[in-house]
Structure 1
Amino acid sequence: MRKIFISFLIGVFILTSKLISAKEGMWLPILLQKLNADEMQAMGMRISAEEIYSLEKSSLKDAIVHFGGGCTAELVSSQGLLLTNHHCGYRSIQKHSTLEHDYLTDGFWAPKMSDELPNPGLTAKIMTSMIDVSDFVLDSVLEGMPENQRQKLIANHIARLKKQYDNDQFHQVQVKAFYYGNQYILMTYDVFYDVRLVGAPPSNIGKFGGDTDNWMWPRHTGDFSVFRIYANDDNQPVDYNKNNRPYEPRQHLKISLRGVEEGDFTMVFGYPGRTQEYLPSYALEEITEKVNPFRIELRRQKLDIMAEAMNKSPQIRIQYSAKYAGVANGWKKWIGENKGIKRMNAVQIKKEQEKSFLEWRGISDSQDNNIINDFENAYAEFTNWDMAYYYFVETSYYHDLSRYVGSYSKLVELSKEEKLDTAMINKEIKRLSGTIDGFFKDYDKDVDKALFLASVRSYAQFSYDAPMPEVYSGYIHKKFKGDMEKYTDFVYSKSFFNDAILLKDFLADFSPSKVSKIEKDPMYAYVNSVKVNFQDSILPPFLTYQHKIDSLQHLYMDLIMQKRKGELIYPDANSTLRIAYGKVESYEPRDGVKYNYFTTLSGIMAKENPNIYDYVVEPRLKELYDSKDYERYADKDGKMHVCFIASNHTTGGNSGSPVLNADGHLIGLNFDRNWEGTMSDLMYDPDQCRNITLDVRYCLFIIDKFANARRLIDEMDLVE
């Protein structure tokens, strides 16, 4: 198997119209020269693969940043200046916002470097190398080996491998599986912890259209924010210190003011999070018919509760804006995903592919060694536990207080050990004490109480092949006769975790002898009961069936690659550095409708509605529009272009990714996908899937003309 896979990777690839679309895929930069460079250049790219990725000299990869663990950003100056999406910086902006300094509403622009705001916990990772280590990791790993034994052997090999590299807080080593464990790649990163907020437009620019327009095209969102990486005097990553200096990158991106036209070559460089393109039909059925529907409904309930409270109180709006956006993002995406899978008839397409696969294998439907039948049986057993798993995930993260209270479990464990470790206990007390103010800053008891009530009602109604948590089957049933509202009133009136002052006093005077106060707290008792039930009754069978499916998927992927030898097959996204490439393209979402490939500032004015929060337009922006004061940022048609679409294959994690032109110059910031293309994590449709990009000229226009932050423009290398 290993030799077959290597020959697949390094063989000669001749593309025909029958093979995978050039627009589909998220490709590994270390393989561009072998797999993609010729095609990319045939599509219009004017730079070499070595200019994109090289270990010998600086390349575009040195300007790409894994931002905050879930987004991408790009370096755009020699002084560590970063561009990313507004929604990627949203939580940082929100944490700096108060009623007196509401940066979410008003925006923020640091007049000088010393005014740039630190963001504890925010990281910026820059990849320094990417090496195929499959031979080492898979040494002695045999086909047919039990999955748990296989994973244990692989984990041991990875641990040995990591010891050969510097692996600390500031220099991280990561080994990840590709092609469902048929390939392993080691990546090294420099990790920066001093990342400061430099600027952000008001939300009615950076979030224009809000959740109404999320996942939609046409789009008019100025979705960007500006940060800066700081380093020590040796230009190395360190913790925050006010005396740190701006980081000097090996390379930063040049920015093009030339705009785009239909058919232009584009590529996206970033950290896509997760795709599942090679799942069997039974997995697609489970996702779209079982898991997605209940997750959509649970999140709808949560959104309704938060929206009602946010609409009544400016304070709650600030506290819950980032939380609301995070919940809404998945909710709307799954709705679109289900619609797209149904429209594309994706399950049937998968079944046809499986039929072709069996014919290639020379296996009949009824034979015992039919891996497709094995998948069917495995998912029949797995679905119930998969739903139970996600029900726990969705309801456990429904409300803030239970999640926060759960963070005290380590202190409880340390305090109950036979041999007390005083140093560890004091360290944990200090850590928890430092979280109190941050938690209560963004917490509202009444909102959280309403969310908790909705959560416990939903969880009580869910049935699966395992006992319910004792707090449901025993305590609530016996003491409250199953009345969830009375139980919720009791929890929120009696829990001392609801009071910041009581909590601070308790920790200030804490000793292990007082740990029972935590254990007897009604919210902690609830959290502990649900967690224990999950760990004892749900997680073991979930993992058993998941390992069985993983083993099948590993073999299935290997066989798919054998069947499709000679074709380009990209690995699923897994939060590692990738390149997607395509072209600027309009599309037709349905009969009689065609969407243009770009939008303009006039579209913002057409959408304006002062009575709808998502469509309020800044007065200053209207002034600039009325005067047509666009300067060099206008397109050659004289209009201020805002966004454009292209056929690059993207997913979550690509938010903030640079969209580059044929010369490798920055032309935009990727920030979304279209509604018709949200199913691209499971199956890509080149006719419908489009990535939505903020035109970098609109970004610069807002920085320069709207915010008067010319000092930032002066740092950048603009190509006119």
Structure 2
Amino acid sequence: MKKIIWLLLTALISFPVIADEGMWLLPLLRQQKFTDMQRLGLKLEDYDIYNPDSSSLKDAVVIFGGGCTGEIVSPDGLLLTNHHCGYSQIQQHSTVEHDYLTDGFWAGSREKELPNPGLTVTFIDAMEDVTAYVLAELAKDTVPNSMNFLSPRYLNNLAKAKVGESFLQNNPGTEVEIRPFYGGNQYYMFTKKIYSDIRLVGAPPSSIGKFGADTDNWMWPRHTGDFSVFRVYADANGNPAPYAETNLPLRPKRWLQISLKGVQANDYAMMMGFPGRTNKYYTSWEVAERRDIDNTVRIDMRELRQQAMLEEMLKDPTVRIQYASKYAGSTNAYKNAIGASWAINKRNFEQVKKTEQDRLIAWSTQYNKPEYIEALQQLQQIVRDRKDLRYRLWMLDEGIMRSIEFVRIPTDTQPLSDALKGKDKKERQAQIDLWEVAYQRFANKDYAPRVDRKIAKIMLKEYRRLIPAQSQPAYFAEIDTKYKGDVDKFIDNLFDKSLFGSTENFHRFLSRPTVKALQEDPMIRFVQSVQDERKALAAALEKFETDFALAHRMYVKGLLEMDKEQMNFPDANFTLRLTYGQVKGYSPRDCDYYGHQTTLEGVMEKEDPTNWEFVVPSKLKELYTAKDYGRYQLPEGKMPVAFAATTHSTGGNSGSPVFNADGQLIGINFDRNWEGVGGDIQYLPDYQRSIIVDIRYVLFIMDKYAGAGYLLDEMDLVE
């Protein structure tokens, strides 16, 4: 019995990765996780997912824009992604007469699909392990402690040298890049084909695509139809080309089948996409630093700012509109920080990482690998040494630079000063015009000076309470010397005297601009001092970066050598990954359980016509009342909206396709629950859930709500 228990404990120590955990590299799938995927229910072969010699599912998964994922769902280049991923394009095409954000947009025909200058869609044509090549080139580097092993410029130059200029010239729209993995212990080269003629095909109204908006952000249960539809166009030869009326819909290598079968609890689910960033290889000291500095400062300072904003928003409808987006942007990262700290404490991530470190120390001692122990010691020392600087930087960023809006005013006064001193009237006027443009950009329709004044007083008081006077921006000394510590009077003086304090002040300055007014302007001096302090802090912290990166690289190398690569996946870095798990609900707390599937009934339960976040379109209510769900309904007659799965996702996975065991599309990922955001550090099997819009709801909205059933005709639907 003792022997059996010892074997079980050894197995647990040797195989720390949980079944649903991981963002796996496709070329390593067979050797790392494929057997587990099949054991969980996958019915495909590994080459159906990733095949370097032929088309596979990966060829239908794309980078949408610069930070989202999308998927190709028809032989004519039709693409699905999230509504929030296509939001800026939908907004760009919206006018008072054609408010597509409010009303939605459906082209109706390909001739009416709308071009989007600047938007790109990127296909991954090839992925190649180039570790040996990169390490050989790095060995030639004669610079001591060079950071080239992580440098995008250096690595991408190596990629271009490897494929040759002729390859890039003969393949229009193709780019190559080399990305580091495992802290710079492994390298892959990605060959990418980038298309730039991307047209908007359709989008539901925000009351569907953004239903629940900021209140429901990071929350489950969820009832959001977060999707939009685009199409990729190419030239006559299928190559990337700028927008032209003569371009044709792309004929892709692969498009996805779409399942109408739906999901059941514990069904196999698999996601592919481009997760942005995780911190799996944090040490215990970094976990504490993240919680005690980064998250604590963000939570505390944003809470103050948000409370002040909300007070003013509730008093004045105009302010509510002006600050709705700012408030939402602030609460987004605020909720994330709360969730991350909750997870760190709930599952004692410090101890989890310490156990991993102790295991490496014991292994290194046994096999005479002192370099890994030294790396850990160095990481511990660096985190300790940078503590004060890091805290000061976070306080400056969250307390001043992100909170006080006037910090965004222009401060490079030299060109205007020179023009005012000179005799060239045209140059003088040109510089004045530039400043007027800068002012209008700062003091736009969404800026309320009285709100900024109030927030500035609150944030500056808290900043000065927590940061010693000698560690504050130099200009802040005037608060004590000139205003006897009265922050309110100090801020009032900024707004009353600065040319940026009000529209009247600015126009008064423009009528008689002087160099002296610029030099003595209190708001400009305030911002310049803040900027100087931030530069000094950043420079001081930068001195730790090289040693930290080198020690971290060595630490991760030790983990890989100890556990072998089969047991570890690299941190996310916005490269193509696969994650798998099951459709499953969860219990966030005792006696509280959330199921795996939401329905249209939940939309109606949340309806609030007085709150823009929960308005339900009349057409959707009509369909609900009539139960006109067609072939998209559940067996019991309800209309599915979203489901949750244990897949390991993060930012960048927005828009990612979610597949069933047969490799068919069952949903589009769009969020995570806040209890699961700590999974960026350590996976939380009991709490981590990806939030996914059910593909049947997407098709229902397109077909029954929007009358765009013609789009479904080009899709490969599986009943």
In structure 2, do the counterparts of structure 1 residues 439 and 129 end up closer, same or farther at CA, with 3 Å as the change threshold?
farther
Q: Which of residues 267, 270, 283 is equivalent to 2:273?
A: 270
Partner SS, residue 651 of structure 2:
coil
In structure 2, do the counterparts of structure 1 residues 62 and 319 end up closer, same or farther at CA, with 3 Å as the change threshold?
farther
1:535 aligns with: 535
Q: CA contact under 8 A between 1:30 and 1:53: conserved in structure 2?
A: yes
Distance 2:656 2:130 in 1: 27
Deviations along 1:621-678, whole A, 9 cap, x unmatched? 2221111100011123322111111111111111111111122221101112223322
Q: CA contact under 8 A between 2:80 and 2:227: conserved in structure 1?
A: yes
Distance 2:573 2:392 in 1: 24
Partner SS, residue 410 of structure 2:
helix
Residue correspondence of structure 1 range 38-437 to structure 2 within 5 A: 38-97=35-94, 101-139=98-136, 141=138, 148-151=145-148, 157-158=154-155, 160-164=157-161, 171-240=174-243, 245-308=248-311, 320-362=323-365, 371-394=375-398, 395-398=400-403, 402-403=407-408, 405=410
Distance 1:27 1:584 in 2: 19
Distance 2:630 2:75 in 1: 25
1:647 aligns with: 646
Partner SS, residue 362 of structure 1:
helix
Q: CA contact under 8 A between 2:76 and 2:249: conserved in structure 1?
A: yes
In structure 2, do the counterparts of structure 1 residues 45 and 104 end up closer, same or farther at CA, with 3 Å as the change threshold?
same
Q: CA contact under 8 A between 1:676 and 1:689: conserved in structure 2?
A: yes
Q: With structure 1 as the length reference, what TM-score do the two structures score? A: 0.83
Give unpaired runs (5+ residues) of structure 2: 1-10, 421-425
Distance 1:259 1:62 in 2: 24
In structure 2, do the counterparts of structure 1 residues 382 and 77 end up closer, same or farther at CA, with 3 Å as the change threshold?
same
Q: CA contact under 8 A between 1:98 and 1:318: conserved in structure 2?
A: no
1:626 aligns with: 625
Distance 2:90 2:616 in 1: 20
Deviates most, 372-381 or 118-127? 118-127
Distance 1:501 1:241 in 2: 47
Amino acid at match of 2:389: W
Deviates most, 552-561 or 632-641? 632-641
Amino acid at match of 2:410: V
Q: With structure 2 as the length reference, what TM-score do the two structures score? A: 0.83
Considering only aligned residues, what root-mean-square deviation do their CA atoms show, in Å?
Answer: 4.3
Distance 1:515 1:269 in 2: 57
Deviates most, 604-613 or 268-277? 604-613
Partner SS, residue 713 of structure 2:
helix
1:710 aligns with: 709
Deviations along 1:450-471, whole A, 9 cap, x unmatched? 5555554454444279743233
Tell which structure's C-alpha radius of gyration is larger. 2
1:35 aligns with: 32
Deviates most, 661-670 or 207-216? 207-216
In structure 2, do the counterparts of structure 1 residues 187 and 310 end up closer, same or farther at CA, with 3 Å as the change threshold?
farther
Deviates most, 88-97 or 689-698? 88-97
Amino acid at match of 2:604: M
How much has 1:210 moved relative to structure 2?
Answer: 2.8
In structure 2, do the counterparts of structure 1 residues 33 and 565 end up closer, same or farther at CA, with 3 Å as the change threshold?
closer
Deviations along 1:374-427, whole A, 9 cap, x unmatched? 333221112222223333433423355544637x799889999xxxxx9xxx99
In structure 2, do the counterparts of structure 1 residues 562 and 313 end up closer, same or farther at CA, with 3 Å as the change threshold?
same
Amino acid at match of 2:475: V
Amino acid at match of 1:67: F
Distance 1:464 1:146 in 2: 39
Q: CA contact under 8 A between 2:409 and 2:524: conserved in structure 1?
A: no
Identity %: 41
Distance 1:391 1:100 in 2: 44
Q: CA contact under 8 A between 2:64 and 2:121: conserved in structure 1?
A: yes
Distance 1:148 1:70 in 2: 32
Q: Does 1:470 align with 2:474?
A: yes
Q: CA contact under 8 A between 1:586 and 1:595: conserved in structure 2?
A: yes
Residue correspondence of structure 1 range 532-571 to structure 2 within 5 A: 532-536=532-536, 538-565=537-564, 567-571=566-570
Distance 2:28 2:542 in 1: 33
Amino acid at match of 1:175: I
1:700 aligns with: 699
How much has 1:23 moved relative to structure 2?
Answer: 0.8
In structure 2, do the counterparts of structure 1 residues 464 and 717 end up closer, same or farther at CA, with 3 Å as the change threshold?
farther
How much has 1:564 moved relative to structure 2?
Answer: 1.0
Distance 2:105 2:569 in 1: 40
Q: CA contact under 8 A between 1:646 and 1:691: conserved in structure 2?
A: yes
Amino acid at match of 1:86: H
How much has 1:272 moved relative to structure 2?
Answer: 0.6
Partner SS, residue 29 of structure 2:
helix
Amino acid at match of 1:397: R
Q: CA contact under 8 A between 2:272 and 2:578: conserved in structure 1?
A: yes
Distance 1:415 1:22 in 2: 66
Distance 2:96 2:453 in 1: 23
Distance 1:232 1:468 in 2: 57
Distance 1:518 1:649 in 2: 52
Distance 2:244 2:308 in 1: 40
Deviates most, 455-464 or 557-566? 455-464
How much has 1:279 moved relative to structure 2?
Answer: 1.2
Distance 2:256 2:603 in 1: 29
How much has 1:547 moved relative to structure 2?
Answer: 2.9
In structure 2, do the counterparts of structure 1 residues 348 and 38 end up closer, same or farther at CA, with 3 Å as the change threshold?
closer
Deviates most, 31-40 or 258-267? 31-40
Distance 1:80 1:401 in 2: 45
